[in-house]
Amino acid sequence: MPYATDAQRAYTAYGQTTNGLNFLGQPMPTWDQLSPTQQAAWTNAAAAVRASADRDERADEPCTVTADCPHCPDGHPNPARRVWNAHVDPALTDGKPTRIIVGRPAGEHVAKVDAAWVYERLSGSLHT
């Protein structure tokens, strides 16, 4: 089945990774069963990831954080080369989701510089 959008592809990949369960451990609805707001949240998240990949000029540069961080024995590889997970926070403001939670897949430590890198991409503050 072809995917109509990057958002559907991301949503499907999330479900494949979690055996079809959402962050509460409940069965995930199909894409078509999501509310327009939920679909928009996934679409915006996918667009932010695509935009950051399209305009990341630093992808081949090494990370500037020193390798002696006691929390990161991997020596802080470039965040553009790492795997990140994201989900929409269930908390609502005025009935709408307002936050996307981003982290490392196995709950690994995230350096402040990596968190800033993710924030810059999701907020659209980096420009080429």
Over range 51-55, report the average pLDDT: 56
Do residues 46 and 5 touch, judged by C-beta distance below 8 A?
yes
Confidence of residue 29 (pLDDT cuts 50, 70, 90): very high
How high is the pLDDT of residue 51? 62
23/25 Cα distance (integer angstroms): 5
Residue type at position 89: D
Q: Which two tokens stand for residue 107?
A: 């709950």
Do residues 53 and 117 touch, judged by C-beta distance below 8 A?
no
How high is the pLDDT of residue 30? 94
Compare 18 and 56 and report the one with higher pLDDT: 18
In this predicted model, what pLDDT tens digit does every residue of 65-89 receive, in sequence order? 555 555 555 556 667 777 788 878 8
Q: Which long-range contacts (CB under 8 A, 24 or more apart) does 65-74 make?
A: 65/111, 65/113, 69/111, 71/109, 71/111, 72/108, 72/109, 72/111
The domains of the chain are located at 34-123
In this predicted model, what pLDDT tens digit does every residue of 100-118 receive, in sequence order? 888 877 777 777 777 888 8
The angle formed by the CA atoms of residues 125, 49 and 23, to the nearest 5 degrees, is: 115
